[in-house]
Amino acid sequence: MPAPSPIKIATQAVTRLTTEEKYYQKELSSQNSRIEKLEADLKAGNDADGNAEFVIRQEGKALEETKAVFGPLKQRIIEAAQRLEEQIATAEDDNGTNAEELAKAKEVLASVPKDDA
């Protein structure tokens, strides 16, 4: 099996990073929901084991750690999208590039949110 082409590698990198960002968005939403539920339970007096405040603080720390991931991740997405744009430009100049890989690369690049690219 031949080694993957540079355009395919760049396409897969952008795809992986955008998928990772979606995962973290989902995780952030889940953590927010857990914190809201814990706070509601605490206000309602449902603190059977007496550690609800501690759990809320711990969940808050996890939430902040998840938020901290977004800055560097967005930067990596921007860089990967730029590399993909360069590979697309190179591939369009080179007639030997697989048309299917080029089309997939353009599709993936178009799917990257514009504030990231």
Question: What is the torsion angle, in degrees rounded to the nearest 10, for the CA atoms of residue 71, residue 114, residue 101 and residue 76?
Answer: -10
DSSP 112: S
Q: What is the pLDDT of residues 63-88, one digit of tens each?
A: 999 999 999 999 999 999 999 999 99
Can you give the pTM of this predicted structure? Answer: 0.82
For the chain, give the mean pLDDT.
89
**DSSP H helical segments within the chain, as ranges?**
6-43, 52-93, 99-111
Which band of pLDDT confidence, cut at 50, 70 and 90, is reported for residue 115?
low
Stretch 80-100: mean pLDDT, rounded?
87
Residue 48 in this model has a pLDDT that exceeds 80: no
Level-2 CATH architecture, domain 6-110: Up-down Bundle (1.20)
Q: Parse the chain into domains and list their residue ranges.
A: 6-110
Tokens of 50: 């007496």
